[in-house]
């Protein structure tokens, strides 16, 4: 259980505003945070992490006080059992994948086996000797997630972690996120603008606007959206045989316009009637 009430004066383009958010998350809950640009989503996560100082309120997590303005209590960010994943990965560029994870796990009992477990779980073992610059965006984000998990967090804070990725990679990493959330028994806050992603991953969604909670409740049902797949073969007609991610194989699929396809290529299909 994590519950908090956080207040912070914001200096916004529209003038001074106050972020004022009170919420409680059940253990194991995945809460999506959404809302327009400038609503205070990133600020909320930074306040929870202790990266910014609130003006008032409290944060309690699993019986531990992280912050209480009235009681003058403040747990510094490095002592809060949480992991933070940013949109731009924020990996150490001069360290290998393994070193990035080992740095985060350092000082904990069982750090070596934990790094090995995370590399295996995130399918990063073969990439362990590489530096982040030699990885794709999706691979870098798997490293960032593994590095956040290397701190054995109770709370995982995800600031639009998948928004810079192409659709097939995003869909694959949504599954990785869901699996990690479940496997490590995490409580997670996920900032996302993508209604399909929210519907797929979140138990509840909180909508912020100008620093205030506009709505908290179940996510809206998943809107019909593109499906991720991989080209198996090009048919003589020029149409495609496509294996959907985690689903059936489709025959006679019209090739989406704009590029030529080869077997093995990933693509996103929009459902429709010809
Ligand atoms: N430390 C701070 N002190 C005061 N104001 C801040 C601080 N950090 C951000 N702000 C302001 O608060 C507002 C909310 O910023 P924030 O980055 O939290 O929004 P957001 O909802 O994450 O937006 P986006 O979707 O564009 O990332 C912005 O107008 C920003 O300029």
**Within this chain, do residues 103 and 134 fall inside the same structural domain, yes or no?**
yes
**Within this chain, do residues 18 and 66 fall inside the same structural domain, yes or no?**
yes
Please report whether residue 132 resides in a domain.
yes
**Within this chain, do residues 153 and 257 fall inside the same structural domain, yes or no?**
no
pLDDT by 10s per residue, the chain, length 274: 899 999 999 998 888 999 999 999 999 999 999 999 999 999 999 999 999 999 999 999 988 999 999 999 999 998 999 999 988 778 999 999 999 999 999 988 889 999 999 999 888 999 999 999 999 988 999 999 999 999 989 999 999 998 888 888 888 889 988 998 998 899 999 999 999 899 999 999 999 999 999 999 999 887 767 788 899 999 988 889 999 887 788 888 888 777 889 999 988 887 654 4
What does the pLDDT read at residue 254? Answer: 85
Give the residue carrying structure tokens 């796990």: 105
Please report whether residue 116 resides in a domain.
yes
Please report whether residue 81 resides in a domain.
yes
**Within this chain, do residues 118 and 253 fall inside the same structural domain, yes or no?**
no
**Within this chain, do residues 66 and 130 fall inside the same structural domain, yes or no?**
yes
Please report whether residue 111 resides in a domain.
yes
Query: Could you tell which of 7, 9, 43, 211 is best to mutate to test the pocket of ligand 1, judged by most ligand atoms within 8 Å of the CB?
Result: 43
**Within this chain, do residues 118 and 250 fall inside the same structural domain, yes or no?**
no
Ligand 1 centroid to Cα of residue 12, in Å, is 7
* CB-CB neighbours of 38 under 10 Å: 17
Give the residue carrying structure tokens 């924020």: 90
Please report whether residue 119 resides in a domain.
yes
Please report whether residue 159 resides in a domain.
yes
The pocket around ligand 1, CB under 6 angstroms, is made up of: 10-13, 35, 37-43, 52
Asked if ipTM goes beyond 0.90, one says: yes
For 244, the domain range is 227-269
* CB-CB neighbours of 71 under 10 Å: 9
Please report whether residue 222 resides in a domain.
no
SS3 per residue for 70-105:
CCCEECCHHHCCEEEECCCCCCCCCCCHHHHHHHHH
**Within this chain, do residues 250 and 174 fall inside the same structural domain, yes or no?**
no
What does the pLDDT read at residue 259? Answer: 80
Contact (Cβ atoms closer than 8 angstroms) between residue 232 and residue 65: no
DSSP 8-state symbol, 238: S
Domain count, the chain: 2
Pairing of strands 56-61, 240-244: unpaired
**Within this chain, do residues 155 and 234 fall inside the same structural domain, yes or no?**
no
């Amino acid at each position: 259980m994590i519950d908090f009430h956080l207040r912070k004066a914001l200096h916004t383009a529209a003038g001074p505003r106050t972020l004022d958010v009170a919420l409680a998350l059940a253990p194991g809950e995945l809460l999506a945070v959404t809302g327009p640009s400038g609503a205070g989503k990133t600020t909320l996560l930074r306040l929870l992490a202790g990266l910014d100082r609130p003006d008032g309120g409290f944060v309690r997590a699993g019986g531990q006080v992280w912050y209480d303005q009235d009681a003058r209590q403040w747990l510094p960010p490095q002592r809060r059992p949480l992991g933070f994943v940013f949109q731009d990965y924020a990996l150490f560029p001069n360290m290998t994948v393994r070193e990035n994870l080992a740095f985060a796990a350092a000082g904990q009992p069982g750090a070596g086996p934990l790094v090995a477990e995370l590399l295996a779980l995130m399918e990063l073992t073969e990439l362990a000797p590489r530096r982040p610059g030699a990885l794709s965006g999706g691979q870098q984000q798997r490293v960032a997630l593994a590095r956040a998990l290397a701190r054995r967090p109770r709370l995982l804070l995800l600031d639009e972690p998948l928004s810079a990725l192409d659709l097939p990679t995003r869909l694959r990493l949504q599954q990785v996120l869901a699996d990690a959330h479940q496997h490590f028994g995490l409580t997670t806050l996920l900032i996302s603008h993508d209604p399909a992603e929210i519907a797929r991953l979140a138990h509840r969604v909180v909508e912020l606007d100008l620093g205030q909670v506009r709505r908290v409740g179940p996510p809206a049902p998943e809107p019909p959206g593109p499906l991720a797949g991989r080209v198996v073969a090009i048919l003589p007609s020029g149409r495609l045989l496509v294996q959907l991610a985690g689903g059936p194989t489709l025959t006679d699929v019209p090739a989406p316009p704009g590029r030529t396809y080869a077997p093995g290529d990933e693509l996103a299909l929009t459902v429709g009637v010809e």
